[in-house]
Structure 1
């Protein structure tokens, strides 16, 4: 009995869905309950009666229900048979706000309130704890996000309607685009959906429709529509939907996807499948208003640097003001000079760029930045390995020269911070394998010689049994 009561309480938080048309009660109206806990909207019930009235002389009418009505006996639990990830939460009734923006217990965690919205310098300060460098990018994102949620939370659209400022990030791989967005969503405690533009296609083709990004945000908000309408969507690899050049086939994953995303970026009411990425007859549908959803797009934009160099060198080609063709070849931050015209030539349509007014670039990772990334952030990669070995009661240390050597190796790979873990995993493999064998190892120090394969790490034993174990250990 207790389990039944719990199930009823759980289901009371969710909207009931019509068994036939799969519309939730917020769209279809009050549901009609029939045996087996099945819910049917008034429209579908009327259509059923009309069809039964038009079936005079149908042999199945003799002796009970016609065969096509067997669908009602298919599910023993009706509404309870719907998967949990396809149930929509009911809208919460508006309650009077507590003083100082606090909840019932004075807890503001997870509640966005204009009086508790952090200022741009505080947002940047939190980003500094997790993201190294990229000061300009963090400043731009802090201001853009602050203005966006100030617009959402105050809801002052009486005289002057403030348009939202979607963001476009341009930067090389491994510079921290995705990590910036994840950290930002964690600071603001809002739902975040991260999706990849490479899987998006035009409606009607194999692949995900553009509305699938909203389905992921709805899932991240626990199927709470109101909460999802104040979330953040990060679309990575946005450069992959650029217009394809020199192609004779239909561009179903390029320009057409950009055109399909226009209504999402600007703000409109979109029909979204619940718990699925594609629309079909068996999935409930709901409506999401995208006017208050912040869209952040990011991409590496390969070969965009060539377009920028061509523009810069062609501005003055003759005379004393002429730029040499190789002037910008060694400029690692050439993407900082990007303009809207460069992105148009790359293949982004002007209507799409017009809905992304905040455009900025991220710096390429230098050796100094890579060395700081390994040691300074709260969850730096070296701190992660130190914590892993601390569980085995072993103190792991890294020499400054060793950190610099790792950063140098990573910079040579040209993949940004992503190269760090691959390099560290390589030389930490033997250490992680050997340490559990010997319970008396107290400290391991990673040296530059070990990183460069010229020596071994420095191992220190505990005080007890140190002399005997050092002789047993191979050189």
Structure 2
């Protein structure tokens, strides 16, 4: 407080000081000045109550303070206005306010991740059976994943590292877009009930450059485990688009998002203690750090690896390109499962460094989806796309049906799009738009049947009215 905030008093007289208590009077005599209220401008000697000291050298008398609170109670101000003065007030107009004047706090649901126990760990055939309920096809990939995950968590649960050091079962999954790479990993984590972090390798850069640091993949895993380090150290990290960090060819500038990122991931894949930022993607002085041990974290890398087929074809046809035993160059052009013949040498030629591939001992591929697989994806999984729309119309008491030739037409359209299973959703959204718009208009509609002609824009769906004959819709 400045000197202007005090009034000089004559300490030799005691007329006014007799109205104050002894302690307050002695304190005033020691200072030689007395405080005054910034609101009513009365001094200590003129105020009957006590003086209240506030931050920033502000003094208010007891009477003015009481009047201020009375005004706030009678004329409530917005919370944002009061919070600006450091006052967290709750007004009667707040809908969330309870009778006691407190706001009910929303309960945060913590994720339940049970302890990994060998007795309750599902066997490989059980894991694959559960994957079959959600993922169509890809039997070989599901078998490889089931065995690798089972062996990994046996290693974690039994802690046999002191006797025989068992290496981690990190995996590299190769498959065309829309073949189910991410969906397989999500389903696997749900079956095992372990924390899962899904990240994209395209945003990773070398430390010191714009982008996410390598440790950001662990930050997401820590968030998925509710910041519980012990649970996060037994989780799964899926790094998608791993082919985007392949070593660039003929690059004159520094490759900060290619080979350098592969080098940075080596320590994570192999297992080491890493300082991880909590709630951020990069390290700085304002972000707290925790130490995580990656020895028991399972890393699964996935990527589409475009143009890898050409590298595989060149290797297969190079061995015998001249003579009677020579293979034709177009021999493997129609092979839809060419990725299953991939080797480490093919991946090295693509741009993956040997040290990185050495820490991903399990390499397997996913098959390209055919027409039969598309039809099964539409109907068979527990959360099938057709079942979702049937449930939506069932809420309007309307039954939705699909003819067999309509499913074949949808599958053929999806193959032409060349975006995998993701194409199915966009195709169905397109022809279901008019149906979802028109059905709620008429409460007499009982059944809607989707036909091949409607899918191919040559006709309309068949609508059955409640208690009436079949009518052809005109939409």
Report what 1:397 is aligned to. Answer: 401
Are positions 1:259 and 2:242 aligned together?
A: no
Which structure shows the bigger proportion of residues in helix conformation?
Answer: 1
Task: Name 1:306's counterpart in structure 2.
Answer: 310
Show the 5 A alignment for 1:166-315.
Answer: 166-315=170-319
| Alpha-carbon contact 2:246-2:351 (below 8 Å) kept | yes
CA displacement at 1:415 relative to structure 2: 1.3
Q: Shift in Å at residue 199 of structure 1? A: 0.2
Matches within 5 A, 1:64-463: 110-463=114-467
Distance 2:259 2:366 in 1: 25
Structure index of larger Rg: 2
Greater RCO, CA 8 A, separation 6+: 1
Superposed CA deviations along residues 178-235 of structure 1, whole A, max 9, x for unmatched, are 0000000000000000000000000000000010000000000000000000000000
Contact 1:406 1:451 in 2 (8 A): yes
Q: CA contact under 8 A between 1:111 and 1:189: conserved in structure 2?
A: no
CA distance in structure 1 between the partners assigned to 2:402 and 2:425 by the alignment: 15
Q: The residue matched to 2:274 in structure 1 has which SS? A: strand
Q: Deviations over 1:149-203 (max 9, x none)?
A: 0000000122211010100000001000000000000000000000000000000
Deviation at 1:268, TM superposition (A): 0.3
1:474 is displaced (CA, Å) by: 4.6
Secondary structure in 1 aligned to 2:119? helix
- For residues 293 and 170 of structure 1, the distance between their equivalents in structure 2, rounded to whole angstroms, comes to 20
Question: In structure 2, the residue corresponding to 1:403 is in which secondary structure?
Answer: helix
Q: Which deviations, in whole Å up to 9, do the C-alpha atoms of 1:328-357 show, x marking residues without a partner?
A: 111111111000000000000000000000
Cα offsets for 1:259-314 (capped at 9, x unmatched): 00000000000000111111121111100100000000000000000000000010
Supply the RMSD in Å over aligned alpha carbons. 2.2
Q: TM-score, normalising length from structure 2? A: 0.75
Distance in structure 2 (CA, Å) of the matches to 1:275 and 1:440: 53
Gaps of 5+ in 2: 1-84, 88-109
2:183 counterpart SS class: helix
Q: Secondary structure at the match of 2:256?
A: coil
Q: Is the 8 A contact 1:170 1:361 kept in 2?
A: yes
Consecutive unaligned residues in structure 1, runs of 5 or more? 1-74, 78-88, 90-107
Specify the SS of the correspondent of 1:424: helix
TM-score for both structures, normalised by structure 1: 0.75
Q: How many residues matched?
A: 371
Distance 2:354 2:161 in 1: 27
Query: Aligned equivalents of 1:171 and 1:361: distance in 2?
Result: 5
Contact 1:413–1:419 (CA<8 Å) still a contact in 2?
yes
In structure 1, C-alpha distance between the alignment counterparts of 2:113 and 2:382, rounded to whole Å: 21
Task: Report if aligned partners of 2:113, 2:195 keep a CA contact under 8 Å in 1.
Answer: no
Whole-angstrom distance in 2 between the partners of 1:229 and 1:202: 23
